[in-house]
Each structure stands twice: as structure tokens, then as C-alpha cells.
Chains A and B, each alone.
Chain A
Amino acid sequence: MSEILLNIDGKEVKAQEGMTLLEAAKSAGINIPTLCYHEKLEPFGGCRLCIVELEQRGWTRLVVSCVYPVEKNLVVRTRSEKVDRIRKMILELQMAHAPDAFDLQELAQEYGADRNRFEKESSFCIHCGLCVRYCAEVKKANAIGFVDRGIRKEISFIPEIASKECWNCKECFPLCPTEALQAAYVLTKALASFETTPEK
């Protein structure tokens, strides 16, 4: 693996080929905010919060750092007026769904996002997919998935699998940036015991 030199926020950073910008930044102690990223999971690029600005031949360009591979001599800015504005907007939109989420509130403060900017529609889930992907990729249980699409997209447990696997795992709970999972789980639990006769 060859070493790649790039510049992040004015700092020379050494990275390995195949790394993402986010990983390179992290390794150099530079923080980029993320919501859908998890080191044990495949990059997802869903929330766009980790967006950064690249400078190439005098042009600037926005890329999503958790899925963008490092390149030689890249000049990266993890914060700029534009980047901050986009992050603020993303946070405001997400807070329409999960206004009381702790993680979001913290980020909102940093970026000056107004949680009341958009009309509230508290669905709580912001579709980061952490729970779904963790269950599939790490636990390989596939007990939880997404159903539907667009504004109606939501998480859903498969009762037959959930009734066997989830009770002893629950590892996806703490991953959720909005804490919606608990409620959803309890609901399905009720469903599961209603539909299937419990074994053991």
C-alpha cells in the first residue's frame, strides 16, 4: 500500500491508499462531524453531514468525506462558510424529525442551526441506517430493515427474527442518534408476542 500525502485544514496528513478523507482526517486528529458513519460498518454516505470542501486548480468542490477516497496532493477544508451553511441546513431539516435528539442539539449549537426553522414532523428516525446496517453487517441477524421510501420510509423489525435475536442483543439501541429505536422495538416486541407463540 502506498502512502498518500494530502493537506487537510492546512496540515500535512499522511494517509494510506484506499482510505477515505474522513479516516485520514481522523487519523490526524481532525474532527469532521458525522451521523451515519460507524467504523465497523461500510461507508454509507447517507446523512451528508461530513461534507467537506476540496480545492483543485483554483476550483472548490464539495464532497462527502466518509465515502471519498484520498488522493495525492488534495487540499481539503473541513470547515468553510459554504460547508457550515450546508451542515446547518442538514441539521435543521433533521431536527424537524427529531427535535430533541441529544446529538443533533449539540451539533446545532456548533453550527447555529435553528431547531424550529422547519415545521415539526416528529418521526424521530432520520434514516441514518446505523441500526439496520449494524444488524446486517456486524450481527448478521437482519432482524431490522427499512420499509417504504421517501417521507414514509421507516425501520421495521421482522417479528419472527426479532423475537429470537433481539432480546439478548439490543446493540443497535445506543447507535441511534435520535433514540427512536427503543420505542420501535417495544412496539414490535408486542407485535411479535401477539403473532407468534413464544418458544422456550
Chain B
Amino acid sequence: MNNERIDQIIDNHHGEASSLIQVLLDIQSENHWLPKEAIERVAEKLQVPLTRVQHIATFYKAFSLVPKGRHEIHVCVGTACHVRGATRVLDTFQDAIGIKPGETDLDLKFSLQTVNCLGCCALGPVIEIDGKTHGKMAPSKTAEVLKNYE
């Protein structure tokens, strides 16, 4: 992400320091992570101390300070999904992509994350890829689902 785009995002929020979290969220959703340069740019432009930006960027789970894949997979391991076999679903994703929760593959294609309840337990086991929910998952469906993502 280049500086112009960052400046544009900042302008969208009128360069107000109170919009710090919104600005970071926009960068995160477009770029999938917050590079050091971006954080420094935001701090400078919004005139917020770097320590504060850093605190916020590390506080919320929504932000990532390491590169993320193009597609973010969230596997629910909440109670309801767990008893319906979420662990086995998770295993198939780990095996298929070759990464563990919290990691990203070398091609920056997928990031894997576990969550504790996506709020639709009746559909369990549930996974979510790029915000799209896939319910009633089964280990045998994993390959099929992954095929749809480039």
C-alpha cells in the first residue's frame, strides 16, 4: 500500500485524530495487515504519538502487524461447533494448506485463525472465509470449499 492511498484514507476521515481506529481498520481491510511504514504515516498525519498507534494496533485482534493472506479463514471452535466436530474440520484445513492457526502460507494466499463462536451455532461446525459463512462443515468438504479461492 502506497502513501498516497494511506493519505486518501486519512482524508476520508478528515485527518482527525479521533478517527485513528477507523483509519487503521480501513488500511487493515484493504491491505490485510498494517506495515510499519503505514503505522508511522498514520501517526505522523494524525499527529498521534507512535506509541499510541502501536498500542491500539496491538490491542485489537482485528489488526495484524504481520502480512496476512488474500483470504482469511476463520474456523469456529466455540462450544457448539466443538461438539459437532470443529477440531476435525480445523485439522483438514491445517493439512490442506500446511499452516497452523495464526499463520499464513508462503504464497500469501490463506491465513488461518480460530474463533470462539461466530454466532450461528445451529449451522455448526461453521467456518468463515473472507466474511462469507460456510455452515454444516465436514472434513470431507474442506477441499471443495478451498477450491473456490484463488
Bound-complex Cα distance A148 to B58 (A): 5
Question: Can you name the residue of chain B whose Cβ is closest to the Cβ of A146?
Answer: B55
Report how many residues on chain B are interfacial, defined by Cβ distance under 8 Å. 8
Query: B51 contacts A136, CB within 8 Å?
Result: yes
Contacts of A158 on B, CB cut-off 8 Å?
Answer: 50-51, 54
**With A and B bound together, what is the CA distance between A135 and B50 in angstroms?**
13
Q: How large is the interface on A (under 10, 10 to 19, 20 to 34, 35 or more residues)?
A: 10 to 19
Identify B54's interface contact among A135, A136, A147, A149, CB under 8 A. A147
In the bound complex, residues from chain A placing their C-beta under 8 Å from that of B51 are 132, 135-136, 142-146, 156, 158
Least CB distance from B41 to A in Å reads 14
- Whether A190 sits at the interface, judged by CB under 8 Å, is no
The distance from the CB of B131 to the nearest CB of chain A, in whole angstroms, is 24
Instruction: Kindly state the separation between the CA atoms of A161 and B43 in the bound complex, as whole angstroms.
Output: 13
Q: When the two chains form their complex, are residues B49 and A145 in contact, meaning their CB atoms are under 8 A apart?
A: yes
- The answer to the question of B52 belonging to the interface, with a C-beta cut-off of 8 Å to chain A, is yes
A132, A136, A147, A149 interface centre (most CB from chain B within 10 Å) = A147
Q: Is the interface of A mostly helix, strand, loop or mixed?
A: mixed
**6 tightest CB-CB pairs across the interface, nearest first?**
A145-B51, A142-B49, A147-B58, A142-B51, A148-B58, A149-B59
In angstroms, Cα B55 to Cα A135, docked, is: 15
Task: For residue A113, give the distance in angstroms from its CB to the closest CB of chain B.
Answer: 30
- Chain B residues, Cβ within 8 Å of A161: 50
Q: Which residue of B lies closest to A142 (CB)?
A: B49
What 1/0 flags go to B27-67 for Cβ under 8 Å of A?
00000000000000000000001111011001100000000
- Residues of B with Cβ closer than 8 Å to A? 49-52, 54-55, 58-59
CA A135 to CA B49, docked complex, whole Å: 11
Cα distance A104–B49 in the bound complex, in angstroms: 31
A188 to B50, CA, bound (A): 16
CA distance A149 to B51 in the complex (A): 14
A131-167 interface bits toward B, Cβ cutoff 8 Å, 1 = contact, 0 = none: 0100110000011111111000000101001000000
Return 7 A-B CB contacts under 8 Å, by A number: A132-B51, A136-B51, A146-B55, A147-B58, A156-B54, A158-B50, A161-B50
List of B residues within 8 angstroms of A146 by Cβ: 51, 55
In the bound complex, residues from chain A placing their C-beta under 8 Å from that of B54 are 145, 147, 156, 158
- Taking CB atoms, residues of chain A closer than 8 Å to B55 are 145-147
Q: How far is the CB of A110 from chain B (nearest CB, A)?
A: 33
Q: Which residues of A contact B59 (CB under 8 A)?
A: 148-149
A 181-199 binary contact with B (CB < 8 Å = 1; else 0): 0000000000000000000
CB under 8 Å from chain B, chain A span 35-77: none
User: What residue in chain B is nearest A152 (Cβ atoms)?
Assistant: B58
Shortest distance between the CB of B52 and any CB in chain A (Å): 7
Given known contacts A135-B51, A158-B54, A161-B50, what 16 new A-B pairs fall within 8 Å (CB)? A132-B51, A136-B49, A142-B49, A142-B50, A142-B51, A142-B52, A143-B51, A145-B49, A145-B54, A146-B55, A147-B54, A147-B55, A147-B58, A148-B59, A156-B51, A158-B51
Output the nearest chain A residue to B40 by Cβ-Cβ distance.
Answer: A160
How far apart sit A182 and B54, CA to CA, in the bound complex (Å)?
A: 21
- Option from A145, A149, A156 in Cβ contact (under 8 Å) with B52: A145
Chain A residues with CB under 8 A of B49: 136, 142, 145
Closest A residue by C-beta to B60: A149
